[in-house]
Amino acid sequence: MHAHSESPTIVVGSLATAATTGALVAMGHRAGHVAMAFAAIGAVPFQRTSESGVVGLVFIGFVFHVAVTFVWSALYVWIAQRSRHRAIIAIVFAVANFLCSWIVTWSTARGIAGVLPLGDRIVYAIIFAIALVVGMRYAFSHSRNA
């Protein structure tokens, strides 16, 4: 029998990244271009407009999205391991992520909150919270079954 050797952060981060990336692709597709959200994310550090259509912005935006999602996931795992209220913590993290994206867009006039409507950003936050909780359950279900 194989032991579950992945760290909880890798499991939670991977699941959250997959879920939120899929959500951003679907939202971008519905809004006109699948890479739109990633271009908006990539435009922030380079102070460029996401409408410029540069492939590099999409790539940087995707990498930045993955990195930030893993940072949020690592913080979530660290706090959630010390608490029994994992769902509440996930909701707090999703709200914090939502507010951070709004603050970035407000302060730079770039970012995901500038290209996605409020409803999509709320759905994104819900997906993120669910992914954190499910990832945490999945990360520890194998260790209990081993």
Tell whether 2 is covered by a domain: no
**Whole-prediction pTM value?**
0.86
Segments forming the whole domain that contains residue 45: 8-145
Tell whether 45 is covered by a domain: yes
Tell whether 1 is covered by a domain: no
Tell whether 129 is covered by a domain: yes
Number of folded domains that form the chain: 1
Residue 71: other Cβ atoms inside 10 A: 12
Tell whether 116 is covered by a domain: yes
pLDDT tens, residue by residue, 52-100 = 557 888 899 999 999 999 999 999 999 999 998 999 999 999 999 999 9
Cα–Cα distances in angstroms (integers) from residue 145 to residues 10, 70, 90, 141, in the given order: 19, 25, 24, 6
Tell whether 121 is covered by a domain: yes
pLDDT tens, residue by residue, 87-140 = 999 999 999 999 999 999 999 888 899 899 999 999 999 999 999 999 999 888
Tell whether 3 is covered by a domain: no
- Phi first, then psi: what are they for 31, rounded to 5°? -85, -10
